[in-house]
Amino acid sequence: MLYRFKFPALAALIGLCAACDSRHSPAALHLPAGDVDRGKTAFLDLGCHSCHEVSGADLPAPSVQPAIPVKLGGVIDRRLSDGYIVTSLLDPSYQLAPYPRNQITSGGKSRMPCYTTKMTTQQMIDLVAFLQSSYTLQRWSPHFVKE
């Protein structure tokens, strides 16, 4: 009879432990809906356009030298999470873009400054909405050549 109570308690404990790891889930970060137009304004106000191009956006050309090859937006084969974009804004050296390191780093760190104290929460939310709107999701599918 004692075993009858141990199994449900053990199962509940395992379930709780598994749930504790949810902070590493790509779905763990939820942002309220942002405004794309305000996000574009934040992109300009924060000076992001001086280093980055955004696919499909009418922005001034980047002016930083040496040029930074990281272009934002365009066709992607999997959706970028809001958490990935927020992390890139708040800790740009955490996961560097797949470009030649000597072009995007200085002293081993990203050339992009950290924006933790340079933007408001609303600017961050709107900036994420603007950047998300510049990506087009196109799932990869194999193309077979008929012979």
pLDDT the model gives residue 102: 82
Angle at Cα 46 formed by Cα 45 and Cα 50, nearest 5°? 95
Which residue from 123, 121, 119, 99 is spatially nearest to 110, judged by alpha carbons?
99
Domains of the chain by residue range: 31-135
CA 108 centroid distance within chain: 21
- How do residues 111-139 score in pLDDT, each as one tens digit? 888 888 889 999 999 999 999 999 888 87
- Please, what is the angle between helix 121-133 and helix 36-45, to 10°? 110
pTM of the model: 0.72
* Pair 49, 70: CB distance under 8 Å: no
Which CATH entry fits the domain spanning 31-135: 1.10.3720.10, 3.20.20.140, 3.40.1260.10, 1.10.760.10?
A: 1.10.760.10
Q: Which amino acid is at 66?
A: P
Distance, CA of 67 to CA of 60 (rounded, Å): 14
Whether a cis peptide bond, with omega within 30° of 0, leads into 66 is yes
- 27 touches 84 (CB < 8 A): no
| pLDDT value of position 48 | 92
Highest mean pLDDT among 6-20, 59-73, 131-145: 59-73
